[in-house]
């Protein structure tokens, strides 16, 4: 068992509980010993930095300070959430790049009897740890139920491969680490061109049409490649593609059905765990049909919300209408 300091982040306690549950289930087969940072706080997501700089970096750095204090035998912090990973990594990097920022943050931390020396911890993403520390061979050895025949679109989103301050990924725009893990599970992995494109992030809350278009591009591409489901490592991506897929369909009058699971859930399935142990069934876009292809039966989800139908007008037969001025050929 290799020990790591673990920063779960708010999403894993709420909307991405499936990520948390499945990660806990695969720790043992992977030999990961995750020690949660005691009394961690929110990383501020993409919101706090847009309001005020010093408080935002102090908020992030409280977690780094707590982790450094708790560190016994390890100096690696693992975060499974993209935004958390980026914020922790970014704060550490910028405080090294600009010592003035580090001083200011430490003055603030002193008000809570804390201190953090920039550069004293390694902030890493869960996928990085699985690929580079655990290794693909160990993943392959743990597989007892290969996901053969399941077509998976690997989807990383933005904030794990980019900006990549420490050059940990094979490529910031087209990395293949997630593909390799899913292949090691025996899945049929499609070469997904939009694997690091944006899901819209918080735009679902601010300017929904902007987000719907970005969500549509991703789901459309995955469907064109005949993926059975998408696999992600980001709670925000999962939430946008899963929970806003219905509204996106409603907005464009489309009928896409593209389930999205966390890659840890697929790892759990390949390691022989049962769907209930992995939080499968918590997704709003049903994945049962997709999982039936590999012989996994998922019990009926509780109270599935009725999908909203697109507007009537778009379902009806085409009606004659007068051409508009610009359509006339003169």
Partner 1 sequence: MFATTLETDHHTLPPLPTPPVADLRLLEEVAAATAGVSRLEMCIQCGTCGGSCPSSADMDHTPRQLFAMVRAGMRDEVLRSNTPWICVSCYHCVVRCPQGVHIADVMYTLKSMAIRVKLYADSTAPDFSQTFVDLVENYGRSFEFGLATRHYLKHFPLRLPGMAPKGLGMITRGRMDLTPHRIEGIDKFKAILARAKELEAAS
CB 304 within 8 A of CB 243: no
**Separation CA 249–CA 239 (nearest Å):** 15
Q: By CB under 8 A, is residue 162 in contact with partner 1? A: yes
Closest to partner 1 by CB, 92 or 179: 92
Shortest spacing between CB 8 and partner 1, in angstroms: 10
Pairing of the two strands 260-262 and 32-36: unpaired
Pairing of the two strands 122-125 and 76-79: parallel
Shortest spacing between CB 305 and partner 1, in angstroms: 4
Closest to partner 1 by CB, 29 or 201: 201
Pairing of the two strands 188-189 and 151-155: parallel
Shortest spacing between CB 203 and partner 1, in angstroms: 6
Shortest spacing between CB 135 and partner 1, in angstroms: 27
Q: By CB under 8 A, is residue 274 in contact with partner 1? A: no
Q: By CB under 8 A, is residue 315 in contact with partner 1? A: no
How many C-beta atoms surround the C-beta of residue 281 within 10 A?
17
Rg (CA), the chain: 22
CB 241 within 8 A of CB 215: yes
Shortest spacing between CB 78 and partner 1, in angstroms: 19
Shortest spacing between CB 117 and partner 1, in angstroms: 17
Q: Where are the beta strands (DSSP E) in the chain?
A: 2-6, 32-36, 76-79, 122-125, 151-155, 188-189, 229-232, 260-262
* Selected range binding partner 1 among 58-66, 144-152, 222-230, 254-262, rule: CB under 8 A: 58-66
Q: By CB under 8 A, is residue 93 in contact with partner 1? A: yes
- From 164, 160, 80, 74, select the one nearest 122 (Cα to Cα): 74
Q: Which of residues 187-246 bind partner 1 (CB under 8 A)?
A: 197-198, 200-203, 205-208, 210, 214, 243, 246
Pure H helices in 143-207:
177-184, 203-206
Indicate which single residue of 5, 34, 62, 181 sits in contact with partner 1 (rule: CB under 8 A): 62
CB 278 within 8 A of CB 21: yes
Q: Which of residues 27-56 bind partner 1 (CB under 8 A)?
A: 39-42, 44-55
Q: Which of residues 278-307 bind partner 1 (CB under 8 A)?
A: 281-282, 284, 301-306
């Amino acid at each position: 068992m290799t020990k790591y300091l673990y920063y779960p982040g708010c999403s894993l306690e709420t909307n991405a509980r499936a990520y948390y549950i499945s990660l806990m289930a695969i720790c043992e087969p992977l030999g990961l010993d995750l020690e949660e940072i005691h009394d961690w706080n929110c990383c501020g997501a993409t919101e706090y930095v847009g309001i005020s700089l010093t408080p935002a970096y102090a908020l992030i750095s409280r977690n780094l300070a707590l982790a450094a204090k708790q560190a016994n035998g390890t100096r690696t912090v693992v975060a499974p959430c993209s935004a958390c990973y980026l914020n922790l990594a970014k704060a550490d990097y910028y405080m090294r790049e600009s010592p003035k920022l580090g001083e200011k943050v430490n003055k603030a931390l002193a008000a809570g009897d804390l201190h953090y020396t920039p550069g004293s911890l390694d902030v890493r993403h869960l996928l990085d740890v699985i690929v580079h520390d655990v290794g693909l061979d160990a993943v392959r050895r743990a597989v007892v139920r290969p996901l053969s025949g399941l077509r998976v679109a690997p989807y990383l989103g933005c904030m794990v491969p980019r900006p990549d301050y420490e050059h940990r990924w094979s490529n910031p725009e087209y990395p293949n680490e997630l593909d390799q893990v899913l292949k090691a599970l025996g899945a049929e992995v499609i070469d997904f061109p939009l694997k690091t494109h944006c899901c819209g992030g918080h735009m679902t809350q601010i300017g929904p049409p902007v987000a719907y278009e970005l969500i549509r591009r991703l789901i459309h591409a995955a469907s064109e490649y005949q993926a059975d489901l998408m696999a992600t490592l980001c709670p925000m991506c999962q939430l946008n593609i899963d929970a806003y897929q219905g509204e996106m369909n409603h907005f464009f009058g489309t009928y896409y059905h593209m389930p999205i699971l966390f890659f840890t859930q697929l790892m759990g399935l390949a390691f022989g765990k049962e769907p209930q142990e992995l939080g499968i069934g918590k997704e709003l876009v049903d994945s049962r049909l997709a999982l039936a292809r590999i012989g996994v039966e998922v019990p009926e989800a509780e109270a599935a919300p009725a999908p909203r139908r697109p507007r009537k007008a778009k379902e009806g037969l085409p009606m004659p209408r007068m051409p508009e001025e610009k359509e006339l050929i003169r």
